[in-house]
Structure 1
Amino acid sequence: MAGELLFFSADDVRAVLIYDDLIPAMETALARFSDREKGGVVQPVRSTTRVNKYNGVFLVMPAYSEKDNALATKVVSFYPENKAVPTHHALIVLLEPTTGVPKAVMDGEIITAMRTAAASAAVTKGDVSCLQHWSLSFQPRSLKKLSNPYLAPPYPDPSYIGNWCSGPLLTTIGLGVQGCSLILTTAGMAVQRLPFYPATAKLGVQGNCLILTTGWVFGAPSQILTAVGLGVQGFIQILIAMGLGVQDLLSTVGALCKPSPHILAIVGAGVQGHSHYHSLSSIYNFTEVRIASRTLESAEKLVTQVPNGRVCDSVEEAVKGADIIVMATSAMKPLLKADWVKAGTHINAVGACKADWQELDPDLVRSSVLVVDSREAAMVESGDVILSKAEIFAEAGELFQGWKKPQTDQTTIFKSLGIGVEDTVAAKLVYDKILQQRPK
Structure 2
Amino acid sequence: MYIPEEKIRQVLTYESLIPAIRQALIDYSAGRVEQPLRQVLRVKDTAGKPIGWFAVMPVISGEYMAVKTVTFYPGNASLGGRHLHTHLATIELLDRATGEPLAVMDGRLITEMRTAAVSAVAASALAPSAKTLGILGSGVQARAHIQALRHVQPAFREPGSIRIWSRNPEKSAAIAAELGANATSIEEAAASDVVVTVTSAIEPVLHGKWLAPESLVIAVGAIGPNLRELDDETMRGYLIAESRQGSENESGDVILSGAKVQAEIGEILAGTAPMPAAGRRVFKSLGMAIEDLTGAVQVWHALKHPLKHL
TM-score, normalisation: structure 1: 0.65
Aligned to 1:101: 100
Aligned to 2:70: 76
Q: Does 1:299 pair with 2:294?
A: no
Residues 40-439 of structure 1 aligned to structure 2 (within 5 Å): 41-52=33-44, 53-66=49-62, 69-84=63-78, 85-125=84-124, 255-257=125-127, 259-284=128-153, 285-286=155-156, 287=158, 288-307=161-180, 309-312=181-184, 314-320=185-191, 322-365=192-235, 367-407=236-276, 409-437=278-306
Offset at 1:296?
2.0
- Contact 2:70/2:90 (CA < 8 Å) preserved in 1? yes
Cα distance in 2, alignment partners of residues 359 and 33 from structure 1: 25
Cα distance in 2, alignment partners of residues 22 and 438 from structure 1: 18
- Contact 2:134/2:196 (CA < 8 Å) preserved in 1? yes
Letter of the aligned partner of 2:245 in structure 1? E
Cα distance in 1, alignment partners of residues 200 and 271 from structure 2: 33
Query: Secondary structure at 1:30's aligned position in 2?
Result: helix
Aligned to 2:81: none
Query: Secondary structure at 1:265's aligned position in 2?
Result: strand
Residue-by-residue CA offset, 1:312-333 (whole Å, 9 max, x unaligned): 2x3223212x011110011010
Offset at 1:438?
7.4
User: Which consecutive unaligned segments of at least 5 residues does structure 2 have?
Assistant: 79-83
Aligned to 2:4: 9
User: Which consecutive unaligned segments of at least 5 residues does structure 1 have?
Assistant: 1-5, 126-254
- Contact 1:344/1:408 (CA < 8 Å) preserved in 2? no
Residue-by-residue CA offset, 1:271-322 (whole Å, 9 max, x unaligned): 1111110010111122321111121232123113322x1112x3223212x0
Offset at 1:260?
2.6
Letter of the aligned partner of 1:328 in structure 2? V
Q: Name which one, 1 or 2, has greater alpha-carbon Rg.
A: 1
Cα distance in 1, alignment partners of residues 298 and 209 from structure 2: 41
Query: Secondary structure at 2:253's aligned position in 1?
Result: helix
- Contact 2:110/2:296 (CA < 8 Å) preserved in 1? yes
- Contact 1:353/1:381 (CA < 8 Å) preserved in 2? yes
- Contact 2:60/2:66 (CA < 8 Å) preserved in 1? yes
Residue-by-residue CA offset, 1:81-106 (whole Å, 9 max, x unaligned): 43243221111011121221211111
Letter of the aligned partner of 1:422 in structure 2? E
- Contact 2:209/2:233 (CA < 8 Å) preserved in 1? no
Cα distance in 1, alignment partners of residues 211 and 217 from structure 2: 9
Residue-by-residue CA offset, 1:237-286 (whole Å, 9 max, x unaligned): xxxxxxxxxxxxxxxxxx211x4321111001111111110010111122
- Contact 1:256/1:408 (CA < 8 Å) preserved in 2? no
- Contact 1:335/1:359 (CA < 8 Å) preserved in 2? yes
Query: Secondary structure at 1:301's aligned position in 2?
Result: helix
Query: Secondary structure at 1:385's aligned position in 2?
Result: helix
* Percent of paired sites with the same residue: 40
Offset at 1:408?
5.4
Aligned to 1:130: none
Query: Secondary structure at 1:358's aligned position in 2?
Result: coil
- Contact 2:58/2:68 (CA < 8 Å) preserved in 1? yes
Query: Secondary structure at 2:179's aligned position in 1?
Result: coil
Query: Secondary structure at 2:76's aligned position in 1?
Result: coil
Residue-by-residue CA offset, 1:327-346 (whole Å, 9 max, x unaligned): 00110100000100011111
Query: Secondary structure at 2:109's aligned position in 1?
Result: helix
Query: Secondary structure at 2:178's aligned position in 1?
Result: coil
Aligned to 1:140: none
- Which protein has the bigger strand share? 2
- Contact 1:65/1:425 (CA < 8 Å) preserved in 2? no
- Contact 1:289/1:306 (CA < 8 Å) preserved in 2? no
Moved over 6 A (4+): none
Taking only aligned residues, the RMSD between alpha carbons, in angstroms, comes to: 1.5
Cα distance in 1, alignment partners of residues 176 and 265 from structure 2: 30
Query: Secondary structure at 1:359's aligned position in 2?
Result: coil
Cα distance in 2, alignment partners of residues 404 and 438 from structure 1: 39
